[in-house]
Amino acid sequence: MARKFEKYRVRVLCEDREHYNFIYGFLVDRGFAERKINMSRELPEGSQSGEQFVREHFNNEYKRYACGQENVLLVIMQDIDHDDKRPEDMKNKYSQLVNNGIKASDKLLFIFPKRNIETWFEWLLQTPPRAEVSESADFKQKHSCTKSTTVGKMASKFYSECHNDHSACDNAPSSLKYSCGEFERLCNYLKSI
């Protein structure tokens, strides 16, 4: 893949190493430079919930990276632990944490797997045509040994499939489709500046 996004550095604020490895695999496969993708900070083991950790550090990371003039992108990845929440609700929640809300010009990408990242693993690891996967089911134990960087690269391939043929993503988990849409929005913005 052409390295069209090589000039950008990427800061990833996420719940854990599993999330980071997934994002890393996805972004490298999409053309971002490996050496320029970094985890913002790591959640100390057993100190607090991952959701709380991301929420507490978001404002500082946002001010420092997402709304600046630098060639830095900020990726926020957090599980949606509650069945009644949607990715749009989560993005709005984060927008309320910023003084004037999130702007279209912010170099910011939100990734919100429903339940946990292993829900996406369950769907992406199937051989096409893929069967639907319940976003309320827990696949954490089943995929505890799955290499998340590899699945991130598979998510990149899925993104390409959907970009070329929208029917390829018909039965994908809704949170995965939403996140692909967010990535598309960010890519379109980066190409325009």
Pairing of the two strands 72-77 and 37-39: unpaired
Where the chain has pLDDT below 50, the residues are 1-2
The percent of the chain in helix, strand and coil, each rounded to the nearest 5, is: 45, 10, 40
Amino acid residing at 104:
A
- Amino acid 47: pLDDT: 66
> In which residue are the tokens 């809704």 written?
174
Which residue in 90, 109, 37, 97 sits closest to 63, CA to CA?
Answer: 97
- Amino acid 44: pLDDT: 66
Phi and psi torsions of 72, nearest 5°:
-125, 135
Q: Domain map of the chain by residue range? A: 9-192
- Amino acid 1: pLDDT: 46
